[in-house]
Chain A
Amino acid sequence: MTEANGHPGIARAERQAAPSPVGTGFFEPWIGRRQVLDLDDFTQAEIERAFETADHMKEILARPIPRVPTLRGRTVVNLFYEPSTRTRVSFELAAKSLGADVVNVTASGSSVEKGETLLDTVRTLRALGTDLLVIRHKDAGAPYAVARHTDLPVVNAGDGAHAHPTQALLDAYTIRERFGRVEGVRVLIVGDIAHSRVARSNAWGLTTLGAEVTFCGPPTLMPATALAVSRRGGSGQLPWPIHVELDLERAIEGVDVVMPLRVQIERQDGNRLASLREYARDYGINRARIALAAPHAIVMHPGPMNEGIEIDPDVAHGDRSVVEDQVTNGVAARMAVLYLLLAAGESTGTRDHGAETGEAEGPGHHRPGAASDAPSILDRRSVTPARERL
């Protein structure tokens, strides 16, 4: 793939590990984190901690009664301004499996229809006793706006064409489960890159973990900066060290993971797609094309699938498909996010459980200066204005 693309050896961007929040020289992933808005501010250690936590959550989900009382008495609100089945249900099951109460709010049927603003809705939900907000919104950046104006933990469940961090977590987690690692795994993301929050968040997550990522799709569904990369090589102005290839047969050669994206029929603005038939012919993932990938290659899809367009039914439900694993792992990954934000994110380290268990506690557990260091933690996690990154 590298040679076919004609631009080998893209250097991985240097990602700086977040510094220790209290200068102890000991950094604990997720301590101080209050938001999951995208994976762009995640360190490798934070993602790996989420994976390790998700491993334990999967054990719970495999039990006859898949529920623990960890978040009993906490309320998670799913605030969905855009239609969703699997993401909303996935968050709901994740929260309930941890014992939390879940309230679902959708734009239709709520005060949004009376003209209440997003921030007023959030203030109301906070006053009603919400402990964590999960937000899906059609506008890129909406969860960032909320996060700037509330002290509640916020999880982005998809904002416009911008980011979908929990999907990227579950995708990388599924890859790790299949291959035992993410580093060095060759991942091809095919389709409507320009409209895809899944592609963007996956680019952040997968490149942070050291995967080799290629974007592929028709020129009309590629962001302009990606088109320049496809012609000139290098990673150009893209924020990630990835490859861009317009020709699917070349892009798919030898890859370990093929991830066709859903053709977002509802987001097409007229003439970007000549026809769905032409798209299926040139970019549809079928058996013949899968045969060009690595012999052990797997097929992933963020769903819902347009079978017969971006993916053939026999591939979607074939033995290469891990689509159902993705759905199961989605609940585990979201349980990990909720647990780490609510149970770990508040940590101030004033108690010593080692006294009971006899364990030696790491220096990160004793953080007498935690309160006064709060601003620096906030600085580190400071929200950046949402911007189209491609």
Chain B
Amino acid sequence: MAARVILAAEDIRRAIARIAHEIVEQNSGVDGLVLVGLRTRGVPIAQRLQRAIETFEGAAVPCGELDATLYRDDLFGGPMHELRRTMLPTDVTGAKVVLVDDVLFTGRTVRAALDAVIDHGRPSAIELAVLIDRGHRELPIRANYVGKNVPTAKDETVRVHIVEIDGCDEVVIANRANE
């Protein structure tokens, strides 16, 4: 398999630390901030951002998790989507919600997540943080915070491995035809 490591564990750690600083800087502090991880791997990344912010800012930012499956536009005819837990730690009305995901690709997951968040309340703003932006957007969606921009071909696969789920921290890119 022609898999290539594009981020190692140390790179992921630095990217998350930088994004944490950027989030606090852009929002002039942590007032009203809510981190929301998108299932599956957005959740541990959001929790790491929360810990990082707590370390250097001394403030605990609420952190939740969101499964936008029920809002997807490609549910029918696709593989079965197992539902996962949605748990928002606080009322999102008036909050500055930062959605957190591992990979930004077509933008359809984020579109579904935007609808899901808005169904829970009316945030004053919604931002997006991703570890990898691999391009090929199908919707007018852009991330506010990006760990690494990775130009890819459409038939390539970006796989993010996170310790909490996969046992190691690593981002690899593979040609799907070779898998």
Contact = CB atoms under 8 A, between A and B. Distances in A.
Nearest to A344: B80
Interface residues on A, range: 35 or more
B79 A351 contact: yes
A59 B86 contact: yes
A14 interface: no
A356 B105 contact: yes
Contacts of B70: 56, 60, 68-70, 98, 339
B4 interface: no
Contacts of B166: 360
Contacts of B83: 52-53, 56, 339
B58 interface: no
A28 B80 contact: yes
Interface in B4-20: none
B80 A355 contact: no
Nearest to A52: B83
B123 to A, nearest CB: 15
Nearest to B78: A351
B71 A346 contact: no
Contacts of A180: none
B44 to A, nearest CB: 12
Contacts of B171: 358
A173 interface: no
A353 interface: yes
Contact of B41 (A98, A351, A358, A365): A358
Interface in B140-169: 157-160, 166
A356 B108 contact: yes
Contacts of B84: 56
A357 interface: yes
Interface centre among B71, B109, B119, by most A CB within 10 Å?
A: B119
B80 A30 contact: yes
Given A31-B80, A69-B71, A354 B157 contact: yes
A343 to B, nearest CB: 5
Given A60-B70, A69-B71, A69-B115, A358 B81 contact: no
Given A59-B86, A68-B119, A356-B106, A349 B79 contact: yes
Nearest to B41: A358
Interface in B105-141: 105-106, 108-109, 115-116, 119-120, 132
Residue from B78, B86, B103 whose CB has the most chain A CB atoms within 10 Å: B78
A56 B71 contact: no
Given A68-B71, A70-B71, A346-B76, A357 B102 contact: yes
B77 A344 contact: no
A343 B81 contact: yes
Which 4 residue pairs are nearest across A and B when measured between Cβ atoms?
A358-B160, A356-B105, A344-B80, A365-B79
10 contacts: A55-B85, A59-B86, A68-B71, A343-B80, A344-B81, A351-B77, A355-B105, A357-B41, A361-B79, A364-B79
Given A56-B86, A357-B40, 11 more contacts: A28-B80, A56-B83, A59-B85, A65-B119, A68-B116, A70-B71, A347-B77, A353-B78, A357-B101, A358-B159, A364-B79
